Every structure is written in structure tokens, then in C-alpha cells.
Amino acid sequence: MAMTMHVKLERLLSMKGGKGDSSYAKNSQAQAEHARSVLYLLEAALDEMQLTATDSAFTVVDLGCSSGNNTLFVVDRIVKHMLKRYESAGAPVPEFQAFFSDLPSNDFNTLFQLMPSLVKNASLEQCLTAVDHIQRSYFAAAVPGSFYGRLFPAKSVDVFHSAFSLHWLSQVPEAVTERWSAAYNRGKIFIHGASEATANAYRRQFQQDLAGFLRWRSQEMKSGGCMFLVCLGRTSTVPSDQGGAGLLFGTHFEDAWNDLVVEGLVDAEKRDSFNVPVYAPNLEDFQEVVEANGCFVVNKLEVFKGGSPLVVSCPDDAAEIGRALANSCRTVCGVLVEAHIGEPLSHELFARLERRATLHAKELLDQLQLFHVVASLSLA
């Protein structure tokens, strides 16, 4: 049963594609700001890599790339940074290739439509003086598949990057949706404020998934390679206190589901069988897995305050804040909601979420702050 659930989620989960109002491309400004805030840490990790002469291409992989400009921005920065390092050292400059990887359901078409033109054998000066910086100096390809499994040939990748993806679990823990289980998440759709048994089931699933992720990456990474990871995190030692993630995926979202139940549009059991497959770890959750894996050395592991996921032009406009929260939730969970209750009821759910968020706009703007776990790892 667990395998069936895993395969279903793997084939289904994706950020909202296209370029519409609720698409990831239109609702990932906050992620872009957070990614820029840790760029100096990414570049510091790249500076630790040894420059080696090789006949093969320098390979960069973005895991969980989604379908917006954020992945293109980060890959571009990685390539330009390494190009600068090679040129400054007077070393032969390799060709660069980038693999954009996400689940098969990802909107790769939109991503590649956004991709700038290739300039073959471009120097750093040519890259930096290109009109509006819209040219690229790397070969690009898509790699569909779950990063909880094997994706690349052995010892083929120089840099792994993943941002805002590892908090997504491979599946909702089986015990969470089994009515006879102590971990059954009755009356809820997320683990924020859930029972200890429910939260621990999520924690075990996260650590199991991360262990698999690290196992495969250790086989795929070249000696001397670099891995830089960013995911939703928390500061609390209690797994059921998911911090900002709890306010984003629980609270008003959960209340909106309850509205549908009270109105008789969805029965309680149907609501209880939907759980957001996200877990925001703290440093201990993360470090335990890395140490148990033994294949990687932790160069940096910290929790950073990432700010609010709500990007609004007018902070005093409650309706705009309500729309921003509803669009944020729809962007990341909409596909799962539609698969669970259908498109018409999904529309009703997010309309209720928008109304609730509008009523609590000031509280959301003041309290909805996300934290991120940032990890820089290299092979042991």
C-alpha cells in the first residue's frame, strides 16, 4: 500500500504550472528573495571546491527545479561563479552542463520557454555583458524523476543544488491516514498542532526520505563535489510545532476545509484522508540523518530566518493579503487538492481560505515568518 501511495504522489505532485495568477511562476517571488539571501553561502561553498582539469563537462544539477525563473537564476549564478574561478586561476575552462530535475508532473515546458538562448564557449566577460544578462553559457536538459531515487550516473555531478523542495515528503506517512492508528490525524490536514504520534510519524518519514536522498547523491557526486540544500525549517524542538509552515499549511487552510465539512460539501473522513505531505525539520532532525548516513561531511548547517511568503504591494490591503495567502497555498497544494476533491470543490476551498485570510490579514502579515534549514555538504 505504501508503494502505491508513493507512486501516486510522485506522479501527481507539482507546483502549479503555466503563467496564470496562481502559477508558481507568478507566486515564487518570496522564494526568489530567500534564495538571494543565502547566495553568499552558496558561493562560499563553491569556493571550497578544488578546480580539477577534466575532459568531461562541469555538471550542475538543480533538484526540485519547478517551473519558474528561480532555478534559472541560481544555475546561472553557479555557472558564472565557477567560470570566474577557472578564469581567475588561469585554468582550462570546462564546458558546463545543467540538469533541471523535478517530478514527471512538473511543467518543464514553461521552464524551458523561460530559458535564455545558449552562447557556446562564452567567456565570463561575454556572459556579463550580454544584453540584460539573458544569455547562458551552459547546455541544458530536463531529468524527470523523484530525487528520493537514483537519477544520474555514478560520479557524474559536480554541484547539487536544491531549494525549497526537501521538506516535501515522498508520501504521507501511512499511519496518519489509518483510522485505527494512534497517528491518525483526525480533524486535521497538517501536523501543526497534531498529536505527538502523528508528528513523530511525519518526522520518521522525513528522516527516511532524507536518508534515501543522501544515499543516492553520494553515488552520483564526483569526488570533490559540492551539495547545497535549502528547505523549510523550524526552530522548535517539538515536531508538531511547524512554525511558519504551520501558519501557511494549517490554521486558516485547515479551517477552510472545516468549512466544507460543516456545509456538507465534504465529509469528515474525506477531509481526514487529505494531509499536506510537508515536514519542516529542525537542525537536529537534519543532522541525525547526515551523521547516520556517513557519506557526507557537514560544512555548514544553520537555520535562517527567511521572512514572509506573502509578497504584497500594499500591506494595508487585507484583500490583497488574503489573495496572496490563498494563491501561495493553491500554488503548492492545488494539484493535490484537485486530485482529492475535484476542481469545483477545490475552487470553493480556496475561496474560503481567501476569505478567512482576509479577515486575519494583519495577524498573517505580522506572524507568518518562515525559517529555512541551509546545509552545505561534501563527500566524506
**252-300, pLDDT tens digit by residue?**
999 999 999 999 999 999 999 999 999 999 999 999 999 999 999 999 9
pLDDT at 188 over 80: yes
Burial tier of 167 (Cβ tally within 10 Å: 0-12, 13-18, 19+): buried
Confidence of residue 34 (pLDDT cuts 50, 70, 90): confident
pLDDT, average across residues 295-307: 93
Domain boundaries, the chain: 18-239+275-308+370-379
Confidence of residue 7 (pLDDT cuts 50, 70, 90): very low
pLDDT at 333 over 50: yes
**DSSP states of 55-80 as a string?**
SSPEEEEEET--SSHHHHHHHHHHHH
**354-366, pLDDT tens digit by residue?**
999 999 999 998 8
Is CATH 3.40.50.150 correct for 18-239+275-308+370-379? Answer: yes
Kindly report the pTM of this predicted structure.
0.88
Q: What are phi and psi of 310, to 5 degrees?
A: -95, 110
Q: What 8-state DSSP symbol labels residue 278? A: B
Residue 5 has a pLDDT of 42
CB 212 within 8 A of CB 149: yes
Which residues, 6 or more positions from 135, have their beta carbon under 8 angstroms from its beta carbon?
116, 117, 118, 119, 122, 126, 127
Question: Strand 296-307 to strand 370-379: parallel, antiparallel, or no bridges (unpaired)?
Answer: antiparallel
Residue 53 has a pLDDT of 75
pLDDT at 133 over 70: no
